[in-house]
Structure 1
């Protein structure tokens, strides 16, 4: 499952939201209506508890259908690994399906299916998660299964020997056979030099080749402790009943000391960084990453938080809907420079953030020409600002994305889990939307002027190489997500 943070829906899927701007002057009334409908009644309000062993419980009642989503979130991901065992967080996610003291390998999934449920798991830089979507009257059953797996995961070495080969093949298919994935992997390793975000979530192949079963067991014992975990449940449930079940299952797991990740601040960048990635491919590709601030505190935003939000708006102005600035100027314009062009602002995470401009040069155009054209669009905003109608459209679509997410029990649970990982309150969505509405054209112009200098930029260029005789064409799709499914 690929999870897009509620906050980042604006960038990732605005084109799927309403296509037309609202008339000028109606946004404030629309926001007021949104805010009034977002206030939950006591019967549907999110509630958060701390179990006796330190594990968190977050419950979102939603009685519209007799279904529930049960998720276990761990505040541990690839950024918590050490060099030499990269990819171990993701490998452990795979091994969690291979048995416990009570269950044989594969039996967990068979039992969830017998309950009428669907299940999966995911790992990224910041977290690991496991989920089941089941009829709400089987919630207690999956809580017993998941709490047992969390507390008593175990498997024989031969299961690891088989599964590590599965993970290696996943790396080959998702990264090594995808030129753009290879480029973004190299880009991250160049942008981040002292921060663990430099490591790929799937791990370096050399580390996977040398990984042992005990490497995975040690990571499990170190990080899978109650104080690093949260249970998130959304759906047709009674809060007090869920709390009692949680204490009877997860609450019986003994508390253990939690490992504290050491802060690893990224070193100051001292100039442009450039890399070339040579891969068999049909077209060139260019990606530019600019160091950017992150959102850390949604309840009392400081200057860095506000700049991060303004960068999110800038990204949406550039590439947040069909016919946005990059598409109009670079793909559809008379001087067509690109076959495609995009922007993204990854402003939320436990580690540092980046703003990325990327694209595919049009026939007869070079990667260098596209690089300059992309930067020119940001310079245009820095010089001339943005129009009020552009801001209105972006903000309206963001409100729409929040409404759409409420229609999904899974979306509600995912959002709550994501915000818990980031140390944010359960109402972070509402707080962030309200802060977004305060972003002005002057704010967007200011961040366009501030964060796109040469000394903040790393450029990666895909240099197409001829294929070996008989080699099949490699995928042309974009890079694999930083979030890996089981």
Structure 2
């Protein structure tokens, strides 16, 4: 599990396997292969529907996005969105606990779900001729989810075990969890998606039912279907099963503005670990639209900066900190949170090499950004990262799952269905001068929170935790 702050990495940076990359000198300037354009419309009850035909294989992906995540919780109820995600597999008036998954498997499909700060998503990939079956199943549990209190108690223990295995037993995950709590004072991003254990201990079945009734309303959800499908047939099926769900108002959301930070923040976390670790989180602007505004332009330039620093093997951070006989770090990385429903961060992280300290790595990471601010970047660096992004857009089309997820993610952020094309166009426009400018303006102490993992001795006799109950995902 990657720690929460690393989740702000731009998805298309994370989806570029090195084996798929063109040679360093290659130039890819043409558009992606021609595809049928996605269609978007709304049902009478307010639910959004997005259809993306892709007829290269007889498979289809059906996804349901709900615009509710951990950021919609309140203090004392952290983890509720994630717990409810688990409970959505526990039944309806016509489907018993676990029966949803068994039915999808019997169709020859696979399915799962996920919860983030910004949204909750459910997906199934099935043979295209079984699409109606999963639409019927998903619409049923969206509208009629129900389960007994005892079922909730059992599943809550599964979530607690998930927290123990993925966070409590993972020093870096704990570091990022606490770093979020220090970085943000007002933003609900300060709470962990999985929830604080004390909140899980006090959570009730009725809490989850109330959360479901409040947020799982048609106007707060989108159905995304991609693959070998006929849009008109999809329209008939979606209207038949989802269109009959009664409309309800989406609860009002109160804007929460993070106060200005004045001075560097630092936190340290001690835990049994093999190596120390340091991460720097800088508050930065986020992309809110594709309009040319100073904030949007800076968010895009910061994304290019992150790729110049760490967007390919042998990029600036790698060359400067991890190579040579006197290297400072075993590994380094950088990432920019381009967009999200809440405030975003630019992160720099590193694992000190033997004999080196987190403070040395921290100083070296900041120096690399300062060097860009002084000297700028080369045209070759810009061309390289832009070429890789364009290549990634082409290779991305091989996966209908990726296509559906990108469409759903754009909807969650309130962006248009051609957000991927617009993003590529805007990134291609970023200049070396813009990258140099943001490197000089967003990396001061007043935007920075530093987190350091101080390793304690590891018990050589300690055995890895064995889950007492099965963890779904």
TM-score range, shorter chain: over 0.9
The structure-2 alpha-carbon separation of the partners of 1:443 and 1:136, relative to structure 1 and needing over 3 Å to count, comes to same
Aligned to 2:438: 447
Aligned to 2:31: 34
Return 91-100 or 327-336, whichever deviates more: 327-336
Question: Please, what TM-score do these two structures have when normalized by structure 1?
Answer: 0.92
The structure-2 alpha-carbon separation of the partners of 1:14 and 1:288, relative to structure 1 and needing over 3 Å to count, comes to farther
The structure-2 alpha-carbon separation of the partners of 1:122 and 1:252, relative to structure 1 and needing over 3 Å to count, comes to same
| 1:346 shift after superposition | 1.2
Aligned to 1:319: 310
- The answer to whether the aligner puts 1:301 opposite 2:292 as a matched pair is yes
CA distance in 1, matches of 2:98, 2:284: 43
Aligned to 1:362: 353
CA distance in 2, matches of 1:233, 1:367: 46
- The answer to whether the aligner puts 1:9 opposite 2:6 as a matched pair is no
SS of structure 1 residue aligned to 2:21:
coil
SS of structure 2 residue aligned to 1:377:
helix
Deviations 1:229-259 (A, max 9, x none): 0000001111011001111000000001111
CA distance in 2, matches of 1:342, 1:469: 29
Choose from 44, 50, 60 the match for 1:58. Answer: 50
8 A Cα contact 1:285 1:463, kept in partner? yes
CA distance in 2, matches of 1:65, 1:381: 45
SS of structure 1 residue aligned to 2:361:
helix
Count how many residue pairs are aligned between Structure 1 and Structure 2.
465
CA distance in 2, matches of 1:469, 1:73: 44
Q: Any gaps of 5 or more consecutive residues in structure 2? A: 466-470
CA distance in 2, matches of 1:95, 1:185: 24
8 A Cα contact 2:10 2:335, kept in partner? no
Choose from 119, 122, 131 the match for 2:123. Answer: 131
Q: Any gaps of 5 or more consecutive residues in structure 1? A: 475-483
Aligned to 1:71: 63
- The answer to whether the aligner puts 1:141 opposite 2:141 as a matched pair is no
Aligned to 1:115: 107
SS of structure 1 residue aligned to 2:229:
coil
Choose from 6, 25, 49 the match for 1:22. Answer: 25
Aligned to 2:461: 470
SS of structure 2 residue aligned to 1:404:
helix
8 A Cα contact 1:60 1:413, kept in partner? yes
Question: Please, what TM-score do these two structures have when normalized by structure 2?
Answer: 0.95
SS of structure 2 residue aligned to 1:34:
coil
SS of structure 2 residue aligned to 1:437:
helix
CA distance in 2, matches of 1:17, 1:447: 30
The structure-2 alpha-carbon separation of the partners of 1:6 and 1:470, relative to structure 1 and needing over 3 Å to count, comes to closer
Aligned to 2:468: none
Return 221-230 or 300-309, whichever deviates more: 300-309
Aligned to 1:398: 389
Aligned to 2:326: 335
Deviations 1:176-222 (A, max 9, x none): 10000001101111111100000000000000011000010010000
RMSD: 1.9
The structure-2 alpha-carbon separation of the partners of 1:441 and 1:459, relative to structure 1 and needing over 3 Å to count, comes to same
8 A Cα contact 2:67 2:220, kept in partner? yes
SS of structure 2 residue aligned to 1:203:
coil
8 A Cα contact 2:152 2:205, kept in partner? yes
CA distance in 2, matches of 1:261, 1:485: 31
- The answer to whether the aligner puts 1:277 opposite 2:280 as a matched pair is no
CA distance in 2, matches of 1:51, 1:444: 43
CA distance in 2, matches of 1:16, 1:279: 36
| 1:472 shift after superposition | 4.0
The structure-2 alpha-carbon separation of the partners of 1:318 and 1:450, relative to structure 1 and needing over 3 Å to count, comes to same
Aligned to 1:478: none
CA distance in 1, matches of 2:216, 2:140: 12
Deviations 1:264-302 (A, max 9, x none): 11111011000000111111100000001101102x231
